[in-house]
């Protein structure tokens, strides 16, 4: 290396950064003790800003463009160093390049369920997940609050902080939205925009904004899904009489699989009742031929006055003090509520349930528990 090459190596003539990764937010220009030559070229590309720091004090900030460094376009740094106009000596300063493009690969999710109060289902536990985008809008604030002297600040260093902040804001956003549980799927976009604004306001002191926030899915526990399915079936059938018929039809294969419980007789009785209903609905049309089904001899209007079989009242069992009690019908359950044996958290079971469930998660018991207060919060 010649003498002139050594002299040229002592000074930096071009300051620039070509980002070869997708996860770097801040990158410090490696000066390694060299001095920046007055009159050097500074190249700031689109989606970048360059920040000069002198002796731990933030100086000039440069937007995208090409600059020839002189005292005229470095007013803050020139003031800090006490240079007079026209002073052309080399100088030492740290140069940080900050990416201002959007980082769109952030993911978030709730590790623990968020508890909401819903008008239809009471206390409900929900989980959610999605994606969001983050962007630096104030490079100076970012350097002061988060980066410090880090020579390469990546998305992984701020990602966990952003995810924790999102989960802390999610419950209040869902609760304050006033959207019923059944309408959350249709309002996900609006709730996501509300969360983006709240997070941007919270992060304003760090220079980071959340321009986009997406909720991909909101899920509820299986028992709530079962209650929603039951309500949908009741809406489709239209009234309780038709719903009782639907339950009877569903019970036929269960009864047939347990012949010792009278399943054959139950299936025959239900089949005859359904046959009568079919004949009523097809009165006036051509009767089917063969021995499969014959219309009764009496006129069809007389059959219309015959009521369907009364539905069997459900028989409930309670878990009180670790012991099974029951069975009780619905009138007896009201007495158990008054006695304090049936609360919102009491485990209940009846025929047809897959497992024991807390009483406040069983749709049929909601009217009985309307005046029962929830459990007291933990003390201390």
Strands annotated E in 17-121: 24-28, 35-44, 48-54, 57-62, 65-68, 94-99, 103-109, 114-118
Q: Per-residue pLDDT for 183 more than 90?
A: no
pLDDT score recorded for residue 375: 73
Confidence of residue 101 (pLDDT cuts 50, 70, 90): very high
Closest C-alpha among 105, 77, 121, 60 to residue 212: 105
Domain end point (choices 220, 238, 273): 220
Residues 270, 249 contacting (CB under 8 angstroms): yes
**CATH number of residue 324's parent domain:** 3.30.1490
Residues 172 and 238 in one domain: no
User: Which residues, 6 or more positions from 311, have their beta carbon under 8 angstroms from its beta carbon?
Assistant: 244, 247, 248
Cα(106)–Cα(132) distance, integer angstroms: 5
Mean pLDDT confidence for 333-360: 87
Residue 290 maps to a domain: no
Closest C-alpha among 60, 56, 50, 61 to residue 149: 56
Residue 310 maps to a domain: no
Q: What is the value of pTM for the model shown? A: 0.55
Q: How many residues does the chain have?
A: 380
Angle at 84 between CA 80 and CA 86, to 5 degrees: 125
pLDDT score recorded for residue 172: 77
Confidence of residue 287 (pLDDT cuts 50, 70, 90): very low
pLDDT score recorded for residue 218: 84
Residue 191 maps to a domain: yes
Residue 372 maps to a domain: no
User: For the chain, how many structural domains are there in total?
Assistant: 4
Domain end point (choices 173, 197, 220): 220
Residues 90 and 107 in one domain: no
Residues 50 and 82 in one domain: yes
Residues 253 and 333 in one domain: no
pLDDT, mean over the chain: 78
Residues 215 and 236 in one domain: no
**CATH number of residue 214's parent domain:** 3.30.479.30
Residues 214 and 234 in one domain: no
pLDDT in tens, 109-156: 888 888 888 777 778 888 889 999 999 999 999 998 898 888 899 999
What Rg value do the Cα atoms of the chain yield, rounded? 36
Range in 35-49, 245-259, 270-284 with the lowest mean pLDDT: 270-284
User: Which residues, 6 or more positions from 252, have their beta carbon under 8 angstroms from its beta carbon?
Assistant: 266, 267, 270, 271
Burial class of residue 305 (count of CB atoms within 10 Å of its CB; 0-12, 13-18, 19+): exposed
Q: Domain range for residue 325?
A: 316-365
Mean pLDDT confidence for 267-271: 57
Residues 322 and 272 in one domain: no
Where do we find the tokens 């002297």? 149
Confidence of residue 223 (pLDDT cuts 50, 70, 90): confident
pLDDT, greater one: 248 or 335: 335
Q: Per-residue pLDDT for 182 more than 90?
A: no
Residue 289 maps to a domain: no
Structure tokens at 127: 């989980």
Mean pLDDT confidence for 17-25: 86
| CB half-sphere exposure, 337, CA atoms < 13 A | 18
Residue 257 maps to a domain: yes
Residues 86 and 108 in one domain: no
Mean pLDDT confidence for 335-345: 86
Q: Per-residue pLDDT for 260 more than 80?
A: no
Range in 17-31, 282-296, 332-346 with the lowest mean pLDDT: 282-296
Cα(75)–Cα(77) distance, integer angstroms: 6
Q: Per-residue pLDDT for 298 more than 60?
A: no
Domain end point (choices 99, 120, 151): 99
Mean pLDDT confidence for 163-174: 84
Residues 316, 328 contacting (CB under 8 angstroms): yes
Where do we find the tokens 């609760």? 175
Residue 327: how many other CB atoms lie within 10 Å: 14
pLDDT, greater one: 248 or 289: 248
Residues 76 and 107 in one domain: no
Residue 275 maps to a domain: yes
Range in 60-69, 118-127, 162-171, 235-244 with the lowest mean pLDDT: 235-244
Residues 30 and 115 in one domain: no
Residue 375 maps to a domain: no
Q: Per-residue pLDDT for 64 more than 90?
A: yes
């Amino acid at each position: 290396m010649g003498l002139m090459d050594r002299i040229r190596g002592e000074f930096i003539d071009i300051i620039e950064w070509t980002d070869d990764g997708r996860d770097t937010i801040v990158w410090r220009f490696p000066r390694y003790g060299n001095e920046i030559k007055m009159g050097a070229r500074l190249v700031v590309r689109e989606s970048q800003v360059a920040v000069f720091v002198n002796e731990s004090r933030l100086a000039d900030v440069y937007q995208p463009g090409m600059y020839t460094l002189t005292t005229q376009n470095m007013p803050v740094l020139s003031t800090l160093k006490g240079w007079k106009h026209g002073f052309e000596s080399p100088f030492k300063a740290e140069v940080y390049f900050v990416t201002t493009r959007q980082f769109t690969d952030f993911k978030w999710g709730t590790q623990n369920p968020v508890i909401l109060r819903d008008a239809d289902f009471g206390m409900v536990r929900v989980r959610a997940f999605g994606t969001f985008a983050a962007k630096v809008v104030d490079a100076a604030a970012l350097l002061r609050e988060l980066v410090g002297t880090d020579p390469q600040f990546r998305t992984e260093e701020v990602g966990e902080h952003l995810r924790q902040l999102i989960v802390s804001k999610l419950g209040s956003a869902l609760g304050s939205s006033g959207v019923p549980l059944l309408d959350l799927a249709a309002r996900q976009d609006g709730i996501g925009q509300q969360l983006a604004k709240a997070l941007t306001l919270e992060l304003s002191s760090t220079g980071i904004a959340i321009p986009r926030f997406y909720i991909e899915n909101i899920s509820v526990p299986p028992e709530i899904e079962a209650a929603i399915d039951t309500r949908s079936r009741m809406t489709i059938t239209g009234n309780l009489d038709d719903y009782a018929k639907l339950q009877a039809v569903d019970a036929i294969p269960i009864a047939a699989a347990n012949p010792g419980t009278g399943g054959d007789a139950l299936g025959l009785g239900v089949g005859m009742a359904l046959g009568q209903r079919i004949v009523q609905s097809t009165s006036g049309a051509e009767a089917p031929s063969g021995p499969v089904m014959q219309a009764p001899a009496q006129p069809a209007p007389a059959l219309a006055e015959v009521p369907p079989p009364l539905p069997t009242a459900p028989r409930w069992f309670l878990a009180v003090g670790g012991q099974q009690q029951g069975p009780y019908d619905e009138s007896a359950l009201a007495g158990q509520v008054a006695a304090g044996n049936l609360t919102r958290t009491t485990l209940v079971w009846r025929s047809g349930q897959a497992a024991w469930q807390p009483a406040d998660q069983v749709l049929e018991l909601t009217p009985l528990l309307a005046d029962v207060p929830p459990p007291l919060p933990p003390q201390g």
